C-alpha cells in the first residue's frame, strides 16, 4: 500500500510531468506560460493545505469548492458535474423512468398537487390540482419536502403507485393507484381560430423532440377549419430546449436550404451552420411571433430568424437574451464539465446574448451590453437589427405590471387556496371564454383573505420603518415622531382598501386559477385570449396588410429608428 509520502510524491510528479509537457508544447506562447504558472500555483496551494493545515481537509470537497469558485467568474451555464450529479440526471432521462403527470408544491407544512396534466395518469386516476398528498406507497409523507415527494412518485414505467390524498380542507381522504408513464404533457396545449381568419398556436417548450410536429399538426387543423389568413405563434414564457426543433419549426415557414442559425466558437468543431431541410408548409402566410422576457434560447432562435429573414413580425417585449451554446465533456473519474463553447448567431449574423460575462472575474457580476457597443446588422430586406440585447419586437407591447398585493396573494397561495375551495363548492362552471366571477364571489374571496389574517409589507411601509429608525437615531423631537406615526396609520388604512383598489387584476388571477381547475392548461390559455394585449396587437397587425408590409420594409420598422 502506498504511504502518504508516496502519494504526495506521485501527485507532485504527475503535476511536474504535465507542466513539462505543456511547457515543451507551448514554450513560445505567453498565454500558455500564464496557464502553466497558475496551474502550478494552484497545485502548490492544494498540496500545502493538505500537508500543513491545522486540521485534515477533505480533498474532494476542497477541490470542488475551488473549481466552483473558478467557474463563478464565467457565465452561469458553465458547470462542474460530479458523478453523483450525472447519475441523478441519467435517472431523470432514463427511458424506463415513469411519471404520474402532475407537479407538487409545499406550503403551510403540507404537500399539494399544483398542476395535473389532462389525459395523463394522475388525471385519469381522479387526482386534481389542490389535492393534499398525505401518503405515497402507503407511507405517510411526514415532513418530507416537495422534492422528496416528487422523487417518491417517480419509478419504472408501467408500474403503479398508491397515493393517498385529501381535499384542501382535509375532507374526503382516499387512496388511488396511478400507473406511471413516460408520456409527457403536450408542447402545444392549445390552438384555435380567432377572428378575421387568424390562427393561434401556443408552444410552451422546445424540450420535446416532436414539438415542431405538434405545431405542424395544429396549423394543418387550423387550415381545415377555414380560410387561414394569418398565424400567431405564441412563444411567451417558452424557455427553449432543442436547437434542431427550432430549426424544424422555422422550416414550416421558410424555404429549404436556408441557414437558420450559426454556431460560432473558437475551434473548427464549434463552427456550424444549421439549415432547413424541407419545403415549407406555409411559405407565404403572414406570421406574428409573440415574445416576452421569458422567451429564451430556442425561442429566440425562432423569433430572431423569422425577423432576420423578414418572414414575419415579432410582437410583445424583448426576449431574454441567451445566445450561448453549452457542451458536456468527460474529465475523468466519472465527472463531467458542462461549458459554454460557442455563441448562436441568427441569419443576419447577430448574437442575441444580453449579458456580458467576459469581465465577470473582476467583480463577480455580469453587465448588460451598453447601447454604444451594440452592433447593427441587416435583415434580408435591409432592415436594421442590433445584437447584444435579445430579440427586440417589431411591434412593442408594454409588459403588464403586477401590484404588490397581487404578488403576495399568489406567493402566499391564497389565490390557489380559494380556487380549491371554489372547486369543492361548484361541480362545473361556464366555458373558459364566458366564465367570470361575480362581485358577490369576489366579496367571498375578500372575506376568505381577511379570515386568513393576510398581511404583507408595502414599499411605503418599508420606507416608513427606515424613517422611524432614522428619527430615533438622529433624536428628532416627539412632534416629528407623531407625524411618522400618523403617516403609518394612514398607510394601514389605505392598505385595507387594496383588495378592492386592485380588484380587476386580482379578479383576473382568480379567474385564471379557477378555470384551470375545470379546463386545465388549455382552458387557461383559451380564456386569456380575448383580453390578451399581445394577441390583440398581433391580430391588428396581421389583419392590416399595409401595416404588416411596412413593418417588414427598411426605414419603417422601430429598430431602424435607433438603438433602444
Question: Residue 411's pLDDT is what?
Answer: 94
Q: Which residues of 367-397 are buried (b: 16+ CB within 10 A; e: fewer)?
A: eebeeeebeebebeeebbbbbbbbbbbbbeb
User: CA dist 509 to 221, 252, 438, 445, Å?
Assistant: 31, 35, 14, 12
Location of C-alpha cell 505543456: 22
2 pLDDT higher than 50: no
Overall size of the chain counted in residues: 564
Low-confidence winner among 107-116, 273-282, 330-339 (lowest mean pLDDT)? 330-339
In the chain, % of residues over pLDDT 70: 90
pLDDT digits (tens, 9 = 90+) for 169-190: 788 999 999 999 987 788 999 9
The better pLDDT of the pair 120, 559 is held by: 120
pLDDT digits (tens, 9 = 90+) for 383-396: 999 998 899 999 99
220 pLDDT higher than 60: yes
Question: Residue 447's pLDDT is what?
Answer: 95
Q: Where residue 557 falls among pLDDT bands split at 50, 70, 90?
A: low
Question: Residue 436's pLDDT is what?
Answer: 94
What is the C-alpha separation between 275 and 255, in angstroms, rounded? 10
Closest CA to 174 of 189, 163, 182: 163
Tell me the DSSP string of 514-530.
Answer: HHHHHHHHHHHHHHHGG
Question: Residue 251's pLDDT is what?
Answer: 98
* 3-state secondary structure (DSSP) of residue 372: helix
What is the C-alpha separation between 245 and 511, in angstroms, rounded? 34
CB neighbours (10 Å) of residue 206? 27
| Mean per-residue pLDDT over the chain, rounded | 88
Question: Residue 17's pLDDT is what?
Answer: 44
Give the contacts of 418 (CB within 8 A, at least 6 positions apart).
Answer: 445, 448, 449, 510, 513
Low-confidence winner among 180-194, 228-242, 458-472, 517-531 (lowest mean pLDDT)? 458-472
44 alpha carbon, distance to own chain's centre: 42
Between CA 528 and CA 532, with CA 531 as vertex, the angle to 5 degrees is 70
The better pLDDT of the pair 195, 338 is held by: 338
Q: How far apart are the first and last CA of the chain?
A: 67
Mean pLDDT value across residues 103-108: 92
Closest CA to 80 of 92, 66, 90: 66
Question: Residue 473's pLDDT is what?
Answer: 81
pLDDT digits (tens, 9 = 90+) for 6-64: 445 445 444 544 554 444 444 456 777 888 888 888 888 888 988 889 999 888 888 88
**Half-sphere exposure for 445 (CA within 13 Å, toward CB):** 27
Strands (E), 117-247: 132-136, 139-140, 155-156, 160-166, 174-179, 190-193, 198-202, 230-234
The better pLDDT of the pair 299, 66 is held by: 299
pTM exceeds 0.75 for this model: yes
Closest CA to 131 of 67, 96, 62, 178: 178
462 pLDDT higher than 60: yes
**Half-sphere exposure for 325 (CA within 13 Å, toward CB):** 20
What is the C-alpha separation between 77 and 75, in angstroms, rounded? 6
Location of C-alpha cell 474532494: 60
pLDDT digits (tens, 9 = 90+) for 332-372: 888 888 899 999 999 999 999 988 777 655 555 666 777 77
In the chain, % of residues over pLDDT 90: 60
List phi, psi (to 5°) of 365: -130, 155
What is the C-alpha separation between 290 and 234, in angstroms, rounded? 5
Q: Where residue 495 falls among pLDDT bands split at 50, 70, 90?
A: confident
Mean pLDDT value across residues 186-213: 94
List phi, psi (to 5°) of 14: -60, -45
Question: Residue 372's pLDDT is what?
Answer: 73
Give the contacts of 149 (CB within 8 A, at least 6 positions apart).
Answer: 104, 111, 133, 136, 141
Amino acid at each position: 500500500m502506498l504511504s502518504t509520502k508516496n502519494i504526495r510524491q506521485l501527485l507532485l510528479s504527475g503535476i511536474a510531468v504535465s507542466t513539462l509537457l505543456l511547457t515543451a508544447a507551448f514554450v513560445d506562447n505567453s498565454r500558455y506560460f500564464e496557464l502553466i504558472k497558475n496551474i502550478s500555483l494552484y497545485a502548490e496551494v492544494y498540496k500545502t493545505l493538505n500537508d500543513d493545515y491545522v486540521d485534515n481537509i477533505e480533498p474532494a470537497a476542497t477541490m470542488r469548492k475551488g473549481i466552483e469558485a473558478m467557474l463563478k467568474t464565467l457565465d452561469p451555464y458553465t458547470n462542474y458535474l460530479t458523478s453523483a450529479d450525472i447519475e441523478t440526471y441519467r435517472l431523470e432521462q432514463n427511458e424506463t423512468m415513469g411519471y404520474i403527470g402532475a407537479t407538487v408544491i409545499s406550503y403551510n407544512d403540507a404537500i399539494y398537487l399544483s398542476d395535473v396534466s389532462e389525459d395523463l395518469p394522475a388525471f385519469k386516476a381522479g387526482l386534481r390540482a389542490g389535492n393534499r398528498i398525505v401518503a405515497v406507497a402507503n407511507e405517510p409523507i411526514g415532513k418530507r419536502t416537495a422534492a422528496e415527494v416528487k422523487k417518491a412518485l417517480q419509478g419504472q414505467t408501467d408500474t403503479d403507485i398508491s397515493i393517498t390524498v385529501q381535499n384542501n380542507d382535509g375532507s374526503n381522504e382516499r387512496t388511488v393507484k396511478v400507473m406511471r408513464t413516460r408520456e409527457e404533457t403536450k408542447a402545444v396545449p392549445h390552438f384555435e381560430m380567432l377572428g378575421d381568419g387568424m390562427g393561434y398556436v401556443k408552444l410552451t417548450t422546445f424540450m420535446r423532440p416532436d414539438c415542431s410536429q405538434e405545431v405542424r399538426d395544429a396549423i394543418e387543423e387550423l387550415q381545415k377549419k377555414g380560410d387561414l389568413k394569418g398565424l400567431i405563434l405564441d412563444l411567451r414564457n417558452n424557455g427553449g430546449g432543442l436547437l434542431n426543433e427550432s430549426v424544424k419549426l422555422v422550416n414550416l415557414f421558410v424555404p429549404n436550404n436556408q441557414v437558420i442559425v450559426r454556431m460560432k466558437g473558437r475551434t473548427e468543431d464549434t463552427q456550424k451552420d444549421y439549415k432547413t431541410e424541407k419545403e415549407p408548409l406555409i411559405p407565404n402566410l403572414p406570421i406574428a411571433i409573440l415574445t416576452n422576457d421569458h422567451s429564451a434560447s430556442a425561442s429566440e432562435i425562432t423569433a430572431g430568424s423569422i425577423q432576420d429573414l423578414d418572414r414575419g413580425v415579432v410582437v410583445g417585449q424583448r426576449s431574454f437574451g441567451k445566445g450561448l451554446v453549452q457542451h458536456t465533456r468527460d474529465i475523468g473519474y466519472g465527472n463531467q464539465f458542462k461549458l459554454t463553447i460557442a455563441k448562436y448567431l441568427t441569419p443576419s449574423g447577430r448574437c442575441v446574448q444580453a449579458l456580458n460575462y467576459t469581465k465577470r472575474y473582476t467583480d463577480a457580476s455580469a453587465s448588460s451590453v451598453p447601447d454604444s457597443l451594440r452592433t447593427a446588422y441587416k435583415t434580408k430586406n435591409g432592415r436594421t437589427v442590433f445584437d447584444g440585447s435579445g430579440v427586440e419586437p417589431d411591434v412593442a407591447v408594454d409588459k403588464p405590471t403586477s401590484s404588490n398585493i397581487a404578488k403576495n396573494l399568489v406567493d402566499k397561495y391564497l389565490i390557489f387556496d380559494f380556487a380549491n375551495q371554489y372547486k369543492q363548492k361548484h361541480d362545473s362552471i361556464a366555458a373558459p371564454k364566458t366564465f367570470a366571477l361575480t362581485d358577490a364571489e369576489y366579496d367571498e374571496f375578500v372575506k376568505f383573505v381577511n379570515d386568513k389574517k393576510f398581511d404583507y409589507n408595502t414599499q411605503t411601509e418599508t420606507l416608513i420603518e427606515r424613517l422611524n429608525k432614522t428619527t430615533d437615531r438622529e433624536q428628532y423631537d416627539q412632534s416629528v415622531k407623531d407625524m411618522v406615526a400618523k403617516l403609518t396609520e394612514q398607510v394601514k388604512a389605505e392598505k385595507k382598501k387594496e383588495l378592492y383598489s386592485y380588484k380587476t387584476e386580482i379578479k383576473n388571477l382568480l379567474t385564471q386559477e379557477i378555470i384551470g381547475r375545470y379546463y386545465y392548461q388549455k382552458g387557461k390559455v383559451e380564456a386569456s385570449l380575448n383580453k390578451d394585449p399581445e394577441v390583440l396587437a398581433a391580430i391588428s397587425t396581421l389583419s392590416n396588410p399595409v401595416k404588416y408590409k411596412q413593418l417588414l420594409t427598411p426605414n419603417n420598422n422601430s429598430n431602424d429608428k435607433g438603438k433602444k
